[in-house]
Amino acid sequence: MKQPRFITHPENSYSEDHRLNCLAWWLVTSKTPVELAHYQQTQKTPVLELLQPRIDRCESWHLLMTCSPAQIRGKLASMEKTKQHNLRAWLNQMRAEAREIHQNQPIET
């Protein structure tokens, strides 16, 4: 699966921010939902507060890359409301960024 730009093209590949993004990506792409939930339960609150938005961002990217719009709607409908809200926000932001990139690309003739 294609990795998101925040993983492949970080502003600073040595930063704590990038390290946490990579950890979140690894968790989302290599762990089952049960394993991910267990990992989250074992983390202390400050760590989880830093990691959860990144996990949500990675899960949103994963949904965009692997699911149809109908599948995304179905998956979101089955989620807890706070999680659903967070993923919707990331999905909307990613879609807006993709539209902007697409609109700014020159048309090849």
List, as one string, the DSSP characters of 5-30.
HHHHS-S-TTSHHHHHHHHHHHHHHH
Q: Is the distance from CB of 1 to CB of 63 less than 8 angstroms?
A: no
Report how many domains make up the chain: 1
> What's this model's pTM, rounded to 2 decimal places?
0.86
Q: For residue 58, tell me if it sits in a domain.
A: yes
Q: For residue 109, tell me if it sits in a domain.
A: no
Q: For residue 48, tell me if it sits in a domain.
A: yes
Q: For residue 78, tell me if it sits in a domain.
A: yes
Q: For residue 26, tell me if it sits in a domain.
A: yes
State the residue range of the domain holding 75.
7-104
Mean pLDDT throughout 75-88?
A: 96
Q: Is the distance from CB of 51 to CB of 20 less than 8 angstroms?
A: yes
Q: For residue 1, tell me if it sits in a domain.
A: no
Mean pLDDT throughout 2-17?
A: 93
Q: For residue 45, tell me if it sits in a domain.
A: yes
